[in-house]
Amino acid sequence: RSAMVEAAAAVAEEEHDAAVREYDDVRDRGGVEEVERECEVGSSGGGGGGQMCLFTDLLGDPLCRIRNSPDFLMLVAETATGSAGGGGGGAEIIGLVRGCVKSVVCGGSHSKDPIYTKVAYILGLRVSPNHRRKGVGRKLVERMEQWFRQKGAEYSYMATEQDNEASVRLFTSRCGYSKFRTPSLLVHPVFRHALKPSRRASIVRLEPRDAERLYRWHFAAVEFFPADIDAVLSNALSLGTFLALPAGTSWDGDVEAFLAAPPASWAVLSVWNCMDAFRLEVRGAPRLMRAAAGATRLVDRAAPWLRIPSIPNLFAPFGLYFLYGLGGAGPGAPRLVRALCRHAHNMARRGGCGVVATEVAALEPVRAGVPHWPRLGAEDLWCIKRLADGYNHGLLGDWTRAPPGRSIFVDPREF
């Protein structure tokens, strides 16, 4: 999402003659990586202002954030470059954008049957600092929206931080998007010591087919729940789905029996391995902050029985596990979610991650059970735009005008 910080630079004040085309991995990788580097440096004031920024290392794969989606595309903007002596020139990549298309739930009918629509997600918009405010970004967005329409998408949406006024202004004022949903990104550091499992919960691992049955039953009317949830759960990056039950509750592995007569309280979540797709790094941190964080790790390593909340080394490349499909029911659901989060923390610790993260709706019923450090998270804003002219789901009408539900499903493939 830090990529959207650069989006403000795409506001058009004079038209640029840049050509927009599909990304070619062999031809364009070097140029794309250069634009990514330029934008990261630009977001931190050139590296000399002492301002911290979050750097994303895509591990040499510019498509890593979209390649697991059913349908995806990356576009680049290039401009001709001259050469000394007038002997012609080549082309320079000056901008890029990524997008993907899938079918998701946009609401539920009176019979609780899900209503699906085809939605597109636009992300990773970048424009080289030397070519900003010339319409390059808007040209990339408009070209991507053309592809979305060709794929039958009825809506397009994007995500950014609520306080990123420049990005919000670009998409709402110049590209026709409207403010839609305000989920929260909740982040928790991974300590050097393991967390004690909860004695008040029993945790069982579900097979992908059983997890799919449970998810389709529980999330049938939850916005953005993907129609191809089976593909998500069976992806190599999905490390498992875990069901938490009150301690002492019998479990014989029969999901159908569970769905027919669920216990008074239960909770579920799945774990996605973002670490194998990209790494993060906090840059520009003051030395004092680095030293203080390092001291907590030293104490935690020397005396793990104290269980001091140590701060991981976020100032070097680190990975994260993303928790998706959080849900549950009953008065004890938040407590059971907390037990699941402790389990996921220990998985991330064994996997060498720096943080675990999840994203939930503002009114999510189990949100109170998610442990997190507010200073590491963010309040997000999703903006949406209707692309189709007609209405294929008359029961709902125009989704952009629908009130928010209590929950929202955040697809880990696009985090």
- What secondary structure letter does DSSP report for 190? P
pLDDT at 394: 52
pTM exceeds 0.85 for this model: yes
Q: Encode pLDDT of 276-297 as tens digits.
A: 999 999 988 899 999 999 999 8
Distance separating alpha carbons of residues 262 and 257, to the nearest angstrom: 8
Distance separating alpha carbons of residues 410 and 63, to the nearest angstrom: 19
First to last CA, the chain: 8
pLDDT band for position 305 (50/70/90)?
confident
Q: Encode pLDDT of 376-406 as tens digits.
A: 999 999 999 999 876 555 555 789 999 999 9
Q: Both tokens of residue 386?
A: 């209707």
Question: Which of 372, 3, 378 has the alpha carbon at shortest distance from 188?
Answer: 372
Distance separating alpha carbons of residues 10 and 193, to the nearest angstrom: 45
pLDDT at residue 213 tops 90: yes
CATH of 18-39+50-80+90-182, one of 3.60.140.10, 3.40.630.30, 3.40.50.920, 3.30.70.100: 3.40.630.30
Mean pLDDT of 58-72: 94
Contact 369, 201 (CB under 8 A): no
- What secondary structure letter does DSSP report for 10? G
pLDDT at residue 83 tops 80: no
Distance separating alpha carbons of residues 125 and 253, to the nearest angstrom: 45
DSSP sequence for 67-119: TTSSEEEEEEEEEE---GGG----EEEEEEEEEEEEEEEEEE-TT--EEEEEE
Rounded to the nearest integer, the mean pLDDT of the chain is: 88
Contact 279, 58 (CB under 8 A): no
Contact 96, 140 (CB under 8 A): yes
Mean pLDDT of 84-98: 75
Domain ranges for the chain: 18-39+50-80+90-182, 187-380
* 187-380 and 18-39+50-80+90-182 share a CATH fold: yes
Contact 328, 365 (CB under 8 A): yes
Distance separating alpha carbons of residues 214 and 208, to the nearest angstrom: 10
Distance separating alpha carbons of residues 8 and 154, to the nearest angstrom: 25
Q: Encode pLDDT of 16-36 as tens digits.
A: 688 999 999 999 999 999 998
Mean pLDDT of 256-281: 96
pLDDT at residue 7 tops 90: no
CATH number of 187-380: 3.40.630
Place of tokens 């991507």: 144
Which is it for the CA torsion 97, 103, 105, 109, positive or negative? positive
pLDDT at 119: 97
Distance separating alpha carbons of residues 160 and 178, to the nearest angstrom: 13
The length of the chain in residues reads 415
Q: Find how far residue 20's CA is from the centre of its chain.
A: 26
Q: Both tokens of residue 395?
A: 């029961």
How many CB atoms are located within 10 Å of the residue 122 CB?
25
Mean pLDDT of 191-215: 96
pLDDT at 8: 43
Residue 339's alpha-carbon distances to 111, 239, 244, 326, in angstroms, are 33, 17, 7, 12
Question: Which of 66, 68, 90, 88 has the alpha carbon at shortest distance from 79?
Answer: 90
The fraction of the chain above a pLDDT of 90, given in percent, is 70
Q: Both tokens of residue 28?
A: 């364009």
Q: What's the number of CA atoms in the CB half-sphere (13 Å) around residue 128? A: 17
pLDDT band for position 324 (50/70/90)?
very high
pLDDT at 323: 98
Q: Both tokens of residue 112?
A: 């609780």
Question: Which of 263, 270, 262, 264 has the alpha carbon at shortest distance from 212?
Answer: 270
